[in-house]
Amino acid sequence: MDLLNTLVDKGLRRETPTREEALAVLATSDDDVLDVVAAAGKVRRHWFGRRVKLNYLVNLKSGLCPEDCSYCSQRLGSQAGILKYTWLKPDEASRAAAAGVAGGAKRVCLVASGRGPTDRDVDRVSDTIRTIKEQNEGVEVCACLGLLSDGQAERLRSAGADAYNHNLNTSEATYGDITTTHTYADRVDTVNKAHSAGLSACSGLIAGMGESDEDLVDVVFALRELDPDSVPVNFLIPFEGTPLANEWNLTPQRCLRILAMVRFVCPDVEVRIAGGREVHLRTLQPLALHLANSVFLGDYLTSEGQAGRADLEMIADAGFEVEGTDRLTLPEHRLPGGCGSHHGAGCGAHEGAGCEAHEDGVAGASDSAPQAGEPRTDLVAVRRRGAGTDLAPNA
């Protein structure tokens, strides 16, 4: 296919594809999906080999958010039965982080619900960052605390943070349909603040919210313009009790095409499979490793993920290797002092990684075999273990 050959050549040269080419990737048929994966896989292997970076989320403060992001289980007015708790103490957060590090995670992503941190919150998170770094040698730490005010990114950097995450989530044209309590421009400003402070910027998207192909291409091209080191790709998990509860728009093949498009547009950045991979990619998750070079280990913010051991087995069985702390994630030209960028390796995900379920942890379970194209609500489970509970984390 001439399109794919062209995109591979451009990806190896770090040349931006045209919007028409990116749209054409999303428009390919299910019959062509393996060809698309094989082509984007050449770009992924050129820049990242067969390494997979593991990241681990620690939800420092869960629920009760004043923002109205339609996709989020922690939003204002959410009826999802998620865990709700205030700030973890530094030692509690460090113990949670240690579980992820022991499971192979190279980076810990510290996330807190809310519009953005107060100065007191920044002090609190700074103490947590220092504690984690003291107790877990070699770990990278990313913070994800919402919209930043002037000077806060610099303070997090001084405390030892390596990166800051704030996702664009969707296109500028449709952002107001998803969230009304802050703007797309607010999010861009926070990513720029992270860049300016010397933090590795991490910013991504959420697919499956009813957006068009044009919206997906718009947000990915906007991300390329912002030049984050890491682009997490979340797949919406429709929460019962949120406005997007009935948005089941993704198939495994659609998810693979989206990941391939992101890889072609952002060939040399850390592309991460984030929230929703188990629900929407399902048994095709190993194919996604040929497109993305980074995943989250274990559970997400408010939802349960695949068992940590199963993650590691999947990576090994697919012929990939877990990236160790002795390896740099990004290509040399993106490292400090390199010719093409200014930061280190990227980070995690914020609001798009939640889920909904009944109190027993399973929603809509069925004994019958799933049919092609049917929503897999049986794969959605609220997190009831790990941070904020007395139960051991999944890592």
Say if strands 140-144 and 163-165 run parallel, antiparallel, or are unpaired.
parallel
**What tens digit of pLDDT does each residue of 150-159 get?**
999 999 999 9
Q: What is the rounded CA–CA span in Å between residue 234 and residue 348?
A: 10
387 within a domain of the structure (yes/no) = no
Cα–Cα dist 269/36, whole Å: 19
- Does residue 78 form part of some domain? yes
pLDDT of the residue at 380: 66
Q: Is residue 375, in this structure, part of any structural domain at all?
A: no
Residue 337's pLDDT band, with cuts at 50, 70 and 90, is low
Q: Is residue 187 part of a domain?
A: yes
Contact 203, 226 (CB under 8 A): yes
**In this structure, is residue 146 part of a structural domain?**
yes
Count of C-beta atoms within a 10 Å radius of residue 20: 9
The residues annotated with a catalytic role in the active site are 65, 69, 72, 109, 142, 202, 272
* % of the chain surpassing 70 pLDDT: 89
Q: Considering its fold, how many domains does the chain have in total?
A: 1
d(CA 200, CA 318): 29
Question: What is the reported pTM?
Answer: 0.88
| Predicted pLDDT at 373 | 64
Higher-confidence residue of 384 and 242: namely 242
Range of the domain at 346: 2-361
Residue 339 pLDDT > 80, yes or no?
A: no
**Res 33 pLDDT > 90:** yes
pLDDT at 279 over 60: yes
Please give the mean pLDDT across all residues of the chain. 88
Give 365-395 pLDDT, tens digit per residue. Answer: 334 555 556 677 766 677 777 887 878 888 7
CATH number at residue 98: 3.20.20.70
**Confidence category of residue 347, pLDDT binned at 50, 70, 90:** very low
Amino acid at 267: P
In tens, the pLDDT along 174-202 reads: 999 999 999 999 999 999 999 999 999 99
Model pLDDT for residues 118-152, shown as the tens digit of each residue: 999 999 999 999 999 999 888 999 999 999 999 99
- Between 117 and 359, the more confident residue is 117
pLDDT of 346 strictly over 60 = no
Please report whether residue 110 resides in a domain: yes
pLDDT value at position 350? 41
- Is 390 inside any structural domain? no
Q: Is residue 376 part of a domain?
A: no
CA 390/CA 296 separation, integer angstroms: 22
- Is residue 359 scored above 60 in pLDDT? no
Question: In Å, how far are 76, 151, 318 from 208, measured between CA atoms?
Answer: 21, 35, 26
